[in-house]
Amino acid sequence: MSAAPRSPDDLAPDDDLADRADLTRLAQVEQALHALLDSGDAVLAAALHEPARALRQALQQLRDRDLLPGSATHRALHQHLLEPLTPVQRALVCAPDRGHQLVLAGPGSGKTRVIAHRIAWLLQARQVQARQIVALAFNRGAAAELRQRLHALAGEPARGVTVLTHHAMALRLIGRALAGSEQEDVPLDFARMLDEAVALLQAEPERPRPTHLFVDEYQDMSPAQYALVGALAGPHTQLMAVGDDDQTIYGFGGASIEFIRRFRDDYAPVRTTLLLENFRSTPPILAVAERLIAPVAERMKGADAPVHRAASRRDEPPGAPVRLIDAPAEVGLQAALVLDAVRRCLAEDAALRPGEIAVLARTRRSLAALQALCLLEGLRCEIAPRPQATSRLTVLHTREGRRLLDLLGCPARPHRRGAAPMRWASLQARRRPAHPVWQDLLLLANELAQVAPVRASAPELVEQLHALAREPRRAGSPQALRLMTAHAAKGLEFRHVIVMDCNDWLPGDDERRLLYVAATRAVETLTLMRARPSRHGLLDDIGLEALQEAGLLEPLAAPTPAEPPDAPVSHRRMLPVSPADIDLGHAGRMPPGHVLHARLARLEAGDPVRLIGRRIENLRGEPIGQLSRRAGALERLARSPGLPGRITAILVRQRAQAGEAFRADLHCERWEVPLIEVVVDAPD
């Protein structure tokens, strides 16, 4: 973006040609219509009367709103919405309203930015009604980010735009939560929900379709999501699919790289645009990433169109070379090396917060060892939840979630799309920006406001909230080191990224793409670990020597392992204790005045605990809960002196949730239960 003042002529550049051409055509059509009307042919005049009137009215409306290209309003919009973009992004944003578009966007190339600016342009310059626009995002976090950016760009009218995940969209269409959504033991069937929505759309071809449909991360759609997009798009819908075949990583979840490859056939004619300027990473990171992805067969972008640093950032310093560490594959040893690297990173930059560093691994198993080490060494870390997990206990069962449900459940009058609870949740979340549960509830409340019918009853809202909560949260306290699988890191970015390799990566193009996604999350530095000996060879054919000679890569000798080589293999790892292994009714069997309730009320998620045998204690040695009878194996592991651990969440239980057989023993209507994770040192 140029800071120099621009003349009015500069502000109506080539990008407007589409608009100008449209207008010229319209004016020609208007003239032709009038000529025909004046021709004296009464039949023709009668037939053309209505179209001529509609056209006159449309042009007049543009004039009234000062929106004809070249007008002051139009120029201001230009400055606001088009100038902060590259020429390629700009052409996408103000493209004509006809024809489908495929945007093949490299990592960090501004695809969210393009979608947000395009929608704002449609609303403001083209006067498209907000309710005609639908954008589908791949998870709740991505939807929230798009909504925020859109609101910042286009203000209040942007609220009318539908920005949802595929599942939330399905939920909105079928208009109800699925039966059993509140019951913990009935898994919500996302695929069925999508199928129902597709069937409903197909049965109602007359139902109004959006005029503009945006689909982000098109490369990772499941067959059911693909069908939903197809059913949502009507004959007059302009579809913009944004994605990157190089970042297809959900093959195992039914997603198919074929969908993005087929887009051009499915929706022909399609205009294809490549977004290759990267605004995120340094040149060394981009060079290594490009070498990583190059061997993949059948890429849509092709080797002659590499992702490269954005032209506007060319003058910035090049940044540090990518570090490649040959490391022992054993998870405990590698965890120790990673922790060293994290410590060094924090020591070098006093302003750096742990949440700006991410450690990415192929599997959660590799992260569990590091998580245990962090707990023992007193470094706060947070492990991202399984993407697409359908956990039975959701954020709504936590203490904070229950408060939101209570607020929803006792309305004096029906909420307007849960507006009051949303305001309340956002207040709590603003007060506690580092509290992942509140942050997650805020996202949920926002989504509810989009999904729920305007005059939903309280029970309807509660049901919908339960259905929405089945999608996992994205964690993120700025004070906690971020640990996640490469899958969970999709769409995110971090100043420093360390990629572990505990020999769990596999050979092949799918893994290569996953490693590419991991590497391209890095903004400033990237450290790649390479297990020695390596089983997958993903890093072996990327031209290490050439990269090294060009100063883009720095191989580091394996630092001496913290333990002697013949030390017994460490199985130390963090083990989340399953709710089924915890006696969920423990505090419920105590009378309301019992000291245990007060003790539980003082606890918070993150507090340290110790598990000794069956007993869960706080650090004063006072009991706060116990394991269930089925947790015998864990109980044996936790023999004196016990296992260190911490609270992951505090659940609220109610009498109605307990099985019939247990209710007679309960002395409370409602009580709290700490969920915990502990450090164990034993093979799986």
Ligand X SMILES: Nc1ncnc2c1ncn2[C@@H]1O[C@H](COP(=O)(O)OP(=O)(O)OP(=O)(O)O)[C@@H](O)[C@H]1O
Instruction: Give least dist CB 103 to ligand X, A.
Output: 10
What's the chain's Rg over C-alpha atoms?
Answer: 28
Task: Give the footprint of ligand X on residues 501-520 (CB under 6 A).
Answer: 520
Stretch that binds ligand X, among 104-112, 330-338, 545-553, 645-653 (CB under 6 A): 104-112
Footprint (CB under 6 A) of ligand X, residues 113-142: 113
Taking the least distance from each CB to ligand X, the nearer of 491 and 645 is 491
Tracing tokens 């959900």 back to the chain, one arrives at: 250
CB of 111 to ligand X, least distance (A): 4
Q: Is 309 in the site for ligand X (CB under 6 A)?
A: no
**Which x/- pattern over 63-102 shows residues binding ligand X (rule: CB under 6 A)?**
---------------------xxx--x-------------
Only one residue has tokens 């954005």, namely 310
Question: Dihedrals φ, ψ of 238, to 5°?
Answer: -95, 120
Residues 517 to 556: which contact ligand X by CB under 6 A? Answer: 520
Cβ-closest position to ligand X:
110
Least Å distance, CB 112 to ligand X, is 3
Minimum CB separation from ligand X for residue 520, in Å? 6
Measured from the CB of residue 104, what is the shortest distance to ligand X in angstroms? 11
Structure tokens at 350: 């006093």
Minimum distance of ligand X from residue 149's CB (angstroms): 9
Query: SS3 of 567, please?
Result: coil
180 is in an annotated binding site: no
Q: Does 107 bind ligand X (CB under 6 A)?
A: yes
Task: Return all residues near 543 (Cβ < 8 A) that are at least 6 apart.
Answer: 291
CB of 86 to ligand X, least distance (A): 5
**For residue 214, what are the contacts with CB-CB under 8 A and spacing of at least 6?**
115, 118, 119, 133, 134, 135, 136, 239, 240, 242
Q: Which of 12, 48, 77, 105 binds ligand X (CB under 6 A)?
A: 105
Among 279, 296, 509, 612, indicate the residue that binds ligand X (CB under 6 A). 279
Using the contact rule CB under 6 A, the part of the chain among 37-45, 111-119, 403-411, 655-663 near ligand X is 111-119
User: Is 108 labelled as part of a ligand binding site?
Assistant: yes
Q: Is 137 helix (H, G, I), strand (E, B) or coil?
A: strand
Q: One symbol per residue from 226 to 265: x for binding ligand X (CB under 6 A), - otherwise; what is it?
A: ----------------------------------------
* Cα distance between residue 609 and residue 617, in whole Å: 6
The pair of structure tokens assigned to 506 is: 């596999």
Task: Report the amino acid identity of residue 464.
Answer: Q
Please give the C-alpha separations between residue 425 and each of 429, 431, 444, 448, in angstroms, as whole numbers: 6, 10, 9, 12
Interface region with ligand X, contact rule CB under 6 A, candidates 59-67, 106-114, 129-137, 348-356: 106-114
- How many whole angstroms separate alpha carbon 159 and alpha carbon 146? 11
Known binding residue 418? Answer is no
Specify the stretch interacting with ligand X by CB under 6 A; choose among 110-118, 348-356, 364-372, 401-409: 110-118
Shortest Å distance, C-beta 83 to ligand X: 9
The answer to whether 488 is annotated as binding is no
| 3-state percent breakdown (helix, strand, coil) of the chain, nearest 5 | 45, 20, 40
Q: How far is the CB of 155 from ligand X (least distance, A)?
A: 19
**Which of 74, 75, 78, 111 is close enough to bind ligand X by CB under 6 A?**
111
Angstrom distance (rounded) from CA 117 to CA 103: 14
Q: How many residues does the chain have?
A: 684
Cα distance between residue 394 and residue 398, in whole Å = 8
Please tell me whether 110 is known to bind a ligand: yes
Angle subtended at Cα 222 by Cα 218 and Cα 225, rounded to the nearest 5 degrees: 75
Does 302 carry a binding-site annotation? no
* 108 is a contact residue toward ligand X (CB under 6 A): yes
Q: Is there a binding annotation on residue 230?
A: no
Pairing between β-strand 357-361 and β-strand 381-383 as defined by DSSP bridges = unpaired
The structure tokens 């945006």 sit at 214
* Residue 584 main-chain phi, psi, to 5 deg: -70, -20
Q: Can you say how many angstroms the Cα of residue 456 is from the centroid of all Cα atoms in its chain?
A: 27
The nearest distance, CB 138 to ligand X, in angstroms, is 10
Which structure tokens are listed for 130? 């907000």
Contact range with ligand X by CB under 6 A, out of 16-24, 103-111, 225-233, 594-602: 103-111
Please indicate if the annotation marks 253 as binding a ligand: no
Task: Say how many residues touch ligand X, by CB under 6 A.
Answer: 16
Using the structure block, give the residue that is written with the tokens 């021709």. Answer: 39
Closest CA to 657 of 183, 181, 188: 183
The nearest distance, CB 2 to ligand X, in angstroms, is 12
Interacting residues with ligand X between 398 and 457 (CB under 6 A) = none
Measured from the CB atom, the residue of 275 and 370 that comes closer to ligand X is 275
- Closer to ligand X by Cβ: residue 69 or 107: 107
Q: Are strands 643-654 and 608-612 parallel, antiparallel or unpaired?
A: antiparallel
Residues 466-505 that bind ligand X (CB under 6 A): 491
Burial of 331 (0-12, 13-18, 19+ CB in 10 A): buried
Output the CA–CA distances (angstroms, integers) from residue 193 to 413, 453, 471, in the order listed. 30, 17, 13
Instruction: Name the residues that contact ligand X, by CB under 6 A.
Output: 84-86, 89, 105, 107-113, 279-280, 491, 520
Binding residues for ATP: 105-112
Task: Report the binding-site residues.
Answer: 105-112
